Amino acid sequence: MNAEEIATDDSVVTDMADAVPATTGQDRGFVAEDIVFDASDLSVYYGDFRAVRDVNMLIQRKEITALIGPSGCGKSTVLRSFNRMNDLIPTARVEGNLLYRGVDLYDPRVDPVEVRRRIGMVFQKPNPFPKSIYDNVAYGPRVAGRKKGLDDVVESSLKKAALWDEVKDRLQESAIGMSGGQQQRLSIARAIASDPEVLLMDEPCSALDPIATARIEELMAELKDEYTILIVTHNMQQAARVSDRTAFFSVEVDETSDRRTGLLVEYTTTEKLFSNPDDERTENYITGRFG
């Protein structure tokens, strides 16, 4: 499935039309011109080992898409292939197609550094640089060569990350002294400061307490107005609370080699996936019978 085919289809199609039968009108469709990512038959390998196979997904602009599934199902691997972070692992390799606004992200002419400036990432563990709060936020714009107007960028990014009021008087202090929740919001501010179009979040709340988690979730709902967000989470309630669409990944084990390969089982609106999933495996997982 690619963007052109969709465009001919009255510019609105049901998600994963070939895999999932269209449900009643509540099912939200894709708008062709707002498709940010188009993954078709995407597989990720580590050396000879295929970690994830045959992922077919469309990602809609200014929506939150959640990737859920049991450990080892490759949801993080898929997420990291969306801004070529897997390139940092020497043996990692991608097969299939991944279009970002119509451009093949794995075209040899594409510079992964340029990709990462447009597609920001927030990691599982808060990872501020051992620099001041200001320098942390200004890092992205600076590496992109920006020298003027950094004060404004820092202020607006911290405001968007709901952190400004807490830190405006200590911008020059080290970011290491902040609490975990603050550090994670700083990571979000830092990602926003590069003015990306997409934010990839890899289990952003797994190291945080429930109160800090709630704040990040609130923040994501606000950021949705401006950014397209993909979030990997092991917390099904979180996916249900924040996301518009959810993709459920699972693992299949090769009996002979005992190798585990992840695959996309079901991808639809969050509402449908959690209330009336089409696949039995999805149902087993969300009802707690598996995983």
Partner 1 sequence: MADISISNSSTAAVGSLSVEALAGPQKRARKEALIRSVFLLASLVSILISVLIVVSLVRESWTFMTQVDWSVTWGQNGWRPRRGLYDMPTLLVASLIVTVIAMLVAGPLGLGAAIYLSEYASKKTRSFFKPILEVLAGVPSVVLGFFALFFISPQVIERIGRNGWLVIGAVIIIAYLAVIAGWTRNLVRREAGTELATQIKRVLTLTALVATALILIWWVNSVAGSGDPASADFFSVKRSGQLAAAAVGVGILTIPLVASVSEDALASVPQELRSASAGLGARKLTTTVQVVLPAAVSGIVAAFIIGISRALGETMVVFMAGGAADEATFTSSPFEGSLTMTAGMASLATGTDNVVGEGLTFQSLYFVGFVLFLLTLFLNIAAGRFVNRVRERY
Q: For residue 90, state whether it binds partner 1 (rule: CB under 8 A).
A: yes
Nearest distance in Å: CB 106, partner 1: 16
Q: For residue 211, state whether it binds partner 1 (rule: CB under 8 A).
A: no
- Chain positions 24 to 63 lying near partner 1, rule: CB under 8 A, are none
**Which pair of structure tokens corresponds to residue 149?**
């107007």
The only residue of 43, 77, 81, 83 in contact with partner 1, by rule CB under 8 A? 83
How many residues of this chain bind partner 1 (CB under 8 A)? Answer: 27
CB atoms within 10 A of CB 149: 9
List CB contacts of 121: < 8 A, sequence separation 6 or more.
Answer: 80, 83, 85, 191, 199, 200, 201, 202
Given the complex with partner 1, which of 90 and 210 has the nearer CB atom? 90
Nearest distance in Å: CB 189, partner 1: 12
Nearest distance in Å: CB 56, partner 1: 25
- Chain positions 115 to 174 lying near partner 1, rule: CB under 8 A, are 116-117, 120-121, 123, 125, 127, 129-131, 139-140, 143-144, 174
Nearest distance in Å: CB 194, partner 1: 6
In degrees rounded to 5, what are phi and psi of residue 62? 50, 40
Angle at 178 between CA 177 and CA 183, to 5 degrees: 130
Given the complex with partner 1, which of 207 and 251 has the nearer CB atom? 207
- Chain positions 212 to 251 lying near partner 1, rule: CB under 8 A, are none
Is residue 248 classed as helix, strand or coil in its secondary structure? strand
Q: Are strands 103-104 and 245-253 parallel, antiparallel or unpaired?
A: unpaired
Nearest distance in Å: CB 255, partner 1: 31
Buried b (16+ CB within 10 A) or exposed e, 70-108: bebbbbbbbbbbbbbbbbeeeebbbebebbbbeeebbee
| β partners of residue 57 | 39
Given the complex with partner 1, which of 175 and 212 has the nearer CB atom? 175
Cα–Cα distance for residue pair 93/48, rounded to 1 Å? 9
The only residue of 22, 113, 221, 253 in contact with partner 1, by rule CB under 8 A? 113
In degrees rounded to 5, what are phi and psi of residue 123? -100, 170
Is residue 63 classed as helix, strand or coil in its secondary structure? coil
Report yes or no: 61 and 34 within 8 Å, Cβ to Cβ. yes
Interacting span for partner 1 (CB under 8 A) from 109-117, 159-167, 237-245, 280-288: 109-117
Given the complex with partner 1, which of 189 and 286 has the nearer CB atom? 189
The only residue of 13, 189, 191, 239 in contact with partner 1, by rule CB under 8 A? 191
Cα–Cα distance for residue pair 251/288, rounded to 1 Å? 16
Cα–Cα distance for residue pair 5/18, rounded to 1 Å? 13
Nearest distance in Å: CB 146, partner 1: 11
Interacting span for partner 1 (CB under 8 A) from 9-17, 18-26, 111-119, 231-239: 111-119
List contacts with partner 1 (CB under 8 A): 83, 85, 88, 90, 109, 113-114, 116-117, 120-121, 123, 125, 127, 129-131, 139-140, 143-144, 174, 176, 187, 190-191, 194
